[in-house]
Structure 1
Amino acid sequence: MEHLTGSANLPHDVWTLIVGRTAAQSVRDLCSLRMSCTAARNVGEEDFVYRCASIPVSDQRWWSLSPMHQPARNFLARCRQSRHLKVLFRSAVSDLFLGGCRFAGMETMHVVTAHGHSAAQYTVFMMLMLRDNFESKNKGLETLRGLEAASALTICKLEFRGVIQGTWTHLHRVPMLNAENLVCSSHACPSRGNMGAIYRHQRCGRGWHVNDGDGGAAHISCVHCRADYELILFVHLFD
């Protein structure tokens, strides 16, 4: 009796798991595995595998800009087509803040946000708060409360800054922050107008920048003031 022990006879689900985990480790390893046999090559073309691909932000930036990396550019395009949320988020940030097409960036950011990507929700929150109308700011405050409840603010800021860092500063579209953008307008609020001083103290006085676990405005009871603090910090993420 013939024993079906060869790798080609593995169930499809097993191949999907193997190739997906390989993609999550290294794109180079994924490419090598796909060349090893027909089964790996076929599974490697599935959307799930492209969504698993681990692509450092520096590689994505370089592949996107360099005409010499057409296979890599094709791989990125396939990742975007497969709804790879990190790749889509980075592309959206580049379009919105690094000289790309703002309309395309906003469309992509909303797609990623709809899939529950926290850093995309944070970015949309910031963009809503930078508007001058009451409805946008209310929507932004709802998002802030959700991110705070999930303890997600720090990782969101780190992920956003990771896309911005290392890029040419002349490409940065730094958001403008003025008095009209600030949220807290209550004259009875004891912390109103102090967020800039708190930010400068945290960053300059103690070397603190993004980590909410060490200071920040988490101790401020007024959610409007916390939103003002996050706006100030967001603008300085481009420094």
Structure 2
Amino acid sequence: MTVECFSNIAFIPNDIWVEITIKVATDSIRDLCSLRMTCKAARDAGEAEIVHRSVSIPPPHATPWWWCLNPEAKRFFDRCMVAGNPELLFREALRELFIRRNENAGLQMLNSATNTEHVAAKYALTMTLLLRTDDNDEKQRGLKLYRELDAAGSLTDCKARCFSIMTISWPGEVQIPRIEEQQTVCASPACSTRGHMPLLYDYRRRAAERNSVHAFGGPAHIPCIKCRADYEMQAFVNLA
């Protein structure tokens, strides 16, 4: 007796396949590749631009070295970049800003990634805006973004993300501008902590080198939000 097995895969609409593929892509790039090899419907769904935009890009330390040499892998990541993948936009923005020194392109990419709620891109955008001396409106926008990150408790994780990318992906290549006196955020003559953030940062950094408990805490106890932003700027420019 012959038993015939029928599959309903052919009757699943393409938009449902795309939704399934997006879910897989946001979990694992390897799982996405495996799914695309299962059938033609999955392969076709994997070609959608929104899937490339949604792919979860592994951190630099978890990325196989041969991906940058494999032509197929390079084409895949190029398609993700063209589709506006937030993580790739974030990384390329850091390259444009701090290696190629192309501020316009870098800011455009950071803005695009930030609009997708990419928190590390929002942090990098915040620091870049605060470091500006030529546009006070943009500096005020940077302070607004800093307040949001500070309130959400996201600063430490975002800083670690930036550090990981800039030191693992491009060791020794990154050049972040130094902070000039006119770039400080806090300008109030009545503020008791104004101008002290570089000293506090240096103190915390030296304490960290000695593995001292005084390395922890940062400016969290400083009541002035603008001085805390000045401290974060000190930490950012010393990432690379």
Pairwise same-fold verdict (TM > 0.5): yes
Q: Which residue of 2 aligns with 1:94?
A: 95
Give the corresponding residue for 1:124. Answer: 125
**Post-superposition shift, 1:13?**
5.3
* Structure 1 residue aligned with 2:181: 179
Residues 160/208 of structure 1: CA separation in 2 closer, same or farther (3 Å cut) = farther
102-111 or 72-81, which deviates more: 102-111
Q: Normalised by the size of structure 1, how large is the TM-score? A: 0.82
The 1-side partners of 2:179 and 2:47 are apart by 45
Whether 2:47 is the aligned partner of 1:45: answer yes
What residue number does 1:105 align with? 106
Q: Which structure 2 residues correspond to residues 68-79 of structure 1 after superposition, within 5 A?
A: 68-79=69-80
Q: Do the aligned partners of residues 181 and 89 (structure 1) sit closer, same or farther apart at CA in structure 2, a change above 3 Å counting?
A: same
Instruction: Give 1:212-223 correspondences, 5 Å limit.
Output: 214-223=216-225
How far 1:185 moved relative to its partner? 2.5
Gaps of 5+ in 2: none
For 2:52, the aligned partner's letter is Y
**Whole-Å separation in 1 of the counterparts to 2:200 and 2:177:** 20
Task: Answer yes or no: is the 8 Å Cα contact 1:92–1:108 preserved in 2.
Answer: yes
Under a length normalisation based on structure 2, what TM-score does the superposition of the two structures give? 0.82
Structure 1 residues 101, 128: CA separation in 2 closer, same or farther (over 3 Å shift)?
A: closer
- Structure 1 residues 20 and 94: CA distance shift in structure 2, 3 A: same
Alignment-mate amino acid for residue 133 of structure 2:
D
Counterpart-to-counterpart distance in 2, 1:44 and 1:124:
31
Cα distance 1:208–1:102, how it changes in 2: closer, same or farther (>3 A)?
farther
Q: Deviations over 1:49-107 (max 9, x none)?
A: 2233222232779678x4x3221121112112222111111111112113374432222
5+ long unaligned stretches in structure 1: none
Tell me the distance in 2 between the aligned counterparts of 1:129 and 1:100.
17
SS at match of 1:116: coil
Query: Counterparts of 1:1-239 in structure 2 under 5 Å?
Result: 5-12=7-14, 14-58=16-60, 66=68, 68-99=69-100, 101-133=102-134, 134-206=136-208, 214-238=216-240
* Number of residue-to-residue matches in the alignment: 231
% identical equivalent positions: 38
CA contact (8 A) 1:99 1:171 kept: no
